């Protein structure tokens, strides 16, 4: 069973990495793809590689060694980067949704509003917010006391998996984590839903089927990343309730 799991996860990891590398290579090498949409797409692909590489390689090593243990420091570090890349992915998806909204609904003003300076600022702000959120959650965990030695018997290092190792009261920690997670999950989602509600309304007003298809096709790759990212967000950003609460 272990060799089969190893091959499955290794195959999934290689497909994810090389698939995203192919997207980055195509968007950088083809001059016709040097647009903001494909620029954001290449950044999303890079973030996806980083997110996957944060957890899967360690998982493969643990499967090979048949060990589920990760050090306390390694667990906190892993938690930080998982949350950082997951949060950054969500904010970039919101920025990209706004980019598609401007391109489809306001094409005459698109190049003026969505300039390279604004896009750089949006990416920077997304990174700062994601970093602060992941830092908050990591620091909140550092404040808690472990009952056992500084090793965590679960290499995925999800908060609900290690919660039973805490000796101190986790109520305040849980409340702050939930509030931050709900805000950082709902804000990008609200931005994405608003942009796509406007896009759908605009597309419905187009008379020709060809025009509707052309407008919708520009959002296809973005919609794929949205589904992928929000499935991941439901798993990571909202820690599940554990028995001690």
Q: Can you give the pTM of this predicted structure?
A: 0.82
pLDDT-derived band at 24 (thresholds 50, 70, 90) equals: very high
Q: Which residue in 231, 85, 230, 78 sits closest to 162, CA to CA?
A: 78
Kindly state the percentage of the chain with pLDDT values over 70.
82
Position 143 scores a pLDDT of 76
The rounded distance, in Å, linking the Cα atoms of 35 and 6 is: 39
CA distances from 13 to 89, 177, 224 (A): 18, 29, 18
In this prediction, residues 155-162 reach a mean pLDDT of 62
Dist CA 37 CA 108 (whole Å): 16
Whether 168 contacts 144, CB under 8 Å:
yes
Cα 216 from Cα 223, distance rounded (Å): 10
Residues 6+ apart with CB under 8 A from 34: 27
Q: What kind of fold does domain 2-236 have according to CATH?
A: Rhopdopsin 7-helix transmembrane proteins (1.20.1070)
CB atoms within 10 A of CB 11: 10
pLDDT number for residue 168: 67
Distance CA 199, CA 124 (A): 26
- What count of other Cβ atoms lies within 10 Å of the Cβ of residue 228? 15
Domain-wise residue ranges, the chain: 2-236
- Please, which pLDDT band fits residue 146 given cuts at 50, 70 and 90? low
DSSP three-state, residue 166: strand
Say if CB 163 and CB 170 are below 8 A apart. Answer: yes
Statement: residue 129 has pLDDT above 50 = yes
């Amino acid at each position: 069973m272990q060799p089969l799991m190893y091959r499955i996860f290794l195959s999934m990891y290689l497909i994810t990495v090389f698939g995203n590398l192919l997207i980055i290579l195509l968007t950088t090498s083809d001059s016709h793809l040097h647009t903001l949409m494909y620029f954001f797409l290449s950044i999303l692909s890079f973030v996806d590689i980083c997110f996957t590489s944060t957890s899967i390689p360690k998982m493969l090593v643990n499967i090979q060694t048949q060990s589920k243990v990760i050090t306390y420091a390694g667990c906190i570090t892993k938690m930080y980067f998982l949350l950082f890349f997951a949060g950054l992915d969500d904010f970039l998806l919101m920025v990209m949704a706004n980019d598609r909204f401007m391109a489809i609904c306001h094409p005459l003003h698109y190049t003026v509003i969505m300039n390279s300076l604004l896009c750089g600022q949006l990416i920077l702000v997304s990174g700062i917010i994601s970093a602060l959120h992941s830092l908050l959650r990591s620091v909140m965990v550092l404040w808690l006391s472990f009952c056992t030695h500084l090793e965590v018997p679960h290499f995925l290092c999800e908060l609900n998996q290690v919660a039973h190792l805490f000796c101190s009261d986790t109520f305040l920690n849980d409340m702050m984590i939930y509030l931050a997670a709900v805000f950082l999950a709902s804000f990008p989602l609200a931005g994405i839903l608003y942009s796509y509600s406007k896009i759908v309304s605009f597309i419905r007003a187009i008379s020709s089927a060809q025009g509707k298809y052309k407008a919708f096709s520009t959002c296809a790759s973005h919609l794929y990343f949205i589904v992928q990212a929000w499935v991941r967000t439901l798993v990571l950003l909202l820690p599940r309730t554990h028995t001690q609460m």
